[in-house]
Structure 1
Amino acid sequence: MTSLITRPMVRDARLWLELSLAALLTGLFAISGTVVSAPLGVAQILPLLWRRRHPALVLVVVALATLVHLRLGMWRVVGYLPAMLALHAAAASGSRGVRLGLCAAAGLALSVSDATLRGPVEGGLVSLVSFGVVWVMGVERGQHARERAALASAAAQNARLRAESAERERLARRLHDNLAATVTVMLVQTEALRHTATFAPPERERVDRVLSAGRVALAEVREAIADLDGRAAAHAGQELAAHLDRLRAAGLAVPAVPDLDLPPPLEEFFHRLVGEAATNALRHGGAWVEFAVAGRVLSIASGPLGPSSGSGGYGLRSLAADLEAYGGALAYGRDGERWVVTATFPE
């Protein structure tokens, strides 16, 4: 319910913000006397409404309109604002060609044009520096947006994995407890009956077959649960590989994940731990993650940490409780500019 209400509200707020910005630019153009050609002024301002959806196209249109307007005698500094806004949006693009090539071409073209009107220093150099600052701000904004998207995706993946793991464990325990208990009672009662009652040889043979079938059924239940654990661990490994690829795309340096040769329940936990530690590294501004293995001890270091980073969250506390239930231990904390998570797995 909340998400259904929030998204339209966000869209409406963004639309009003864009319209207000367009109105503000229009007023600045009119008050400052910037406009030499009304159609060119419209071509500079109107496309900005679509700069988030089509940043490359908007930058091309606005930059061309600004260049022509400059040649017609537009000399007010405010006339560069639409091009700066378009450049800022294009610099945040995920496309390397748009972010570097197109933005550089537009910034240089406008700076050179301004240099011919105002001189190399007051025109060209000042414009180049101004466009450079705007470009850097746009690149930073785009990087932060991609990191937030990666973290949101990672959080959703981790939540789904935890829910699937909890549900699988609940069903497995229920299956084991109910079937194993029922079959065990049947076996005990049948075994007692076999030793206390008097049977003819054919009936005793039938009782022995019942006991043998019960023991086989109990073993098959345990094998089925072990197989379920193995398939869940393999699926968790595939999910972890895709999750780490997303974090690498967001800028986090993550090496290959080591192989600890753990049994299925612990192997699934290991995948969850690596995913949580890597996600936390990116969330707290880290640039890299490193793994170290010594026997059954895994250390995951990440960094560099900022001055305000240094406390474990709910994810690590939950993982520590899970590993303790398996007979292991999980410790984590700050070590200088590194954050270190150390897991000791049971033998």
Structure 2
Amino acid sequence: MSRQAPWSRPELRAPLGWWQKQAASHKDGLCALVLAVLAFVPTLSKIGAQIGDLPERPASALGLGLTLAQTLPLAARRRWPAGTLTVVACAFAVHQALGFATTFGSLGLYLAVYSAGAHQVRFRLRSAAVASAAYAGLAVVLERLGSPQGVPDYLAFYLALAVVWLVGSTVRTRRAEEAERRRLAAEVATAAERARIARELHDVVTHHVTAMVVQADAAQFLLTSAPQRAGEGLSAVSDTGRRALTELRYLLGVLEATGDSSAADRARADRAPTLGRVGDLVEQARSAGQPVEFSEQGERRPQPLEVELAAYRVVQEALTNAMKHAAGQPTRVRVRHGEERIEIGVTTDGSDDSPTAAPVTRKPSPAGGRGLAGLRARVRMVDGELEAEPRPEGGFELRATIPSKPVQE
């Protein structure tokens, strides 16, 4: 049977939770008050910092004030670390020089030194040099007052204080490094989110606007050649606009849900384009006058949202390029659902003597356009591969392979 950690017990969790919720200033104030009270507990009087070993003088109001001066200023140790160290160190020095009895409150010196190392922001080395010089002066004063301590004793006490300061400085450095890592991680996450939104906007706007331009041109041509069919073209433009608005609302829903992961997931799941809507893309391209042949093989199974969206965008980008660069050329869309991967292929015909196919058959740059570059990045994010290249006989071919990751319904 495993042993339960002491702080995980119900009677301890509530006080621990209350303590963690308190502001740093409240914690420091409470610690300073507790240390001040413990300084007057007789059984703890032998525990403390001691360097002078001068003849002990009786307790007095001055000794009481010096003891409180070594403890209560610690309430401001994070806000004013240098000032706190100055007050506590001066009180400790006078307390030692006057020969008052050691108290538990003298441990406040160690906490003040640690706070200076951990929380002092400006003039750190200068403050350390001034404190070292002041300690050397205290050692000279105690020697003149008849202290039995020798140079090794003063050096050992100084080294103990230096170690405490270095511990605080190390904690400060690590906190600064962690804060810098969090800042960089936040910048990377923000940049990645901006890039993702830019890709989404590019895919939505480019595809739908291209389709609407093609459909509007066709409708304008039909107004003069076949007026009875012009209404169909205008209706196609209207349908395309509605699809664009639906996808833009989806993007806005994701943006509005930023910071609420569950709301973002719901917004994305409710309106995100999926593989099941590829048929809508095909119909939209056909209504724009692009002859598209669509075939789907294998059993379609529910996939994670990222996989569904990546596959959808592959087909959308391919059809957009076909309508832009090879309007009227036969296009074939093939989707194969396998056990281990989803394979997508989109092929557009073209010929060297066809003006509409000429932009397709020219050799693209290695990185492709903005759409293909973003598409490659999207497919890589789901561990897939994307290939896009011109066909030897004319036209263009795009192939994507995305690992299948079925989810339980």
Question: Normalising by structure 2, what TM-score?
Answer: 0.43
Name which one, 1 or 2, has greater alpha-carbon Rg.
2
Question: Normalising by structure 1, what TM-score?
Answer: 0.50
Q: Would you tell me which structure has more helix in proportion to its own residues?
A: 1
